[in-house]
């Protein structure tokens, strides 16, 4: 299988259109289309982003391996088998993985702002859930 075929297959497995994937990776839809048609090859950074987004190895994307799962070689990060089902669902969600992959690029101040925003957003969601529950 070519990189384009693998990318197409992974994108469709997640139920994304080319435009959706392009938006989530902050590239043009034509870039994704060119990759999928094997008319253009992603650079190393983009290969890493694609692999991270789809939680596969770069070797898998390139057709050098049939092993899809990314294997951490740095000894860091949790053993996925010990994670709660809720946390595994979050880590398996490409949208959250895309968001989490951007965290290392943030300054400590930006991370604190994001944490505050997430906390506020979760409070708003919880209030809305409570309001709906009370209206039942």
Instruction: Report how far residue 9's alpha carbon sits from residue 134's, in angstroms, rounded to the nearest whole number.
Output: 44
Global confidence as pTM: 0.54
Rounded CA-CA distance 131/136 in Å is 9
**Which percentage of the chain shows pLDDT scores above 90?**
35
| DSSP-assigned states of every residue in 93-126 | -HHHHHHHHHGGGS-HHHHHHHHHHHHHHHHHHH
**CA–CA separation, 4 vs 28, rounded Å?**
16
Instruction: Walk me through the domains of the chain, giving residue ranges and CATH numbers.
Output: 3-61 (1.10.260.40), 83-134 (no CATH)
| Model pLDDT, residue 82 | 53
Please state the φ and ψ torsions of residue 56, each to the nearest 5 degrees.
Answer: -130, 165
- Determine the Cα–Cα distance for residues 45 and 51; give it in Å rounded to an integer: 10
> For the segment 6-16, what is each residue's pLDDT rounded down to a tens digit?
999 999 998 99
pLDDT tens-digit series, residues 84-126: 677 677 777 777 777 777 777 878 888 888 888 888 988 999 9
């Amino acid at each position: 299988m070519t990189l384009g075929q693998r990318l197409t297959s992974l994108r469709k497995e997640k139920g994304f259109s080319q435009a959706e994937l392009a938006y989530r990776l902050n590239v043009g839809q034509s870039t994704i289309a060119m990759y999928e048609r094997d008319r253009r090859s992603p650079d190393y950074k983009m290969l890493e982003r694609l692999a991270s987004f789809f939680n596969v190895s770069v070797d898998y994307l390139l057709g050098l391996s049939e092993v899809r799962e990314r294997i951490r070689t740095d000894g860091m990060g949790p053993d996925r088998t010990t994670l709660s089902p809720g946390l595994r669902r979050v880590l398996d969600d490409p949208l959250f993985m895309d968001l989490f992959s951007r965290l290392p690029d943030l300054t400590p101040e930006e991370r604190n702002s994001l944490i505050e925003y997430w906390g506020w957003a979760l409070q708003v969601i919880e209030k809305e859930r409570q309001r709906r529950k009370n209206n039942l």
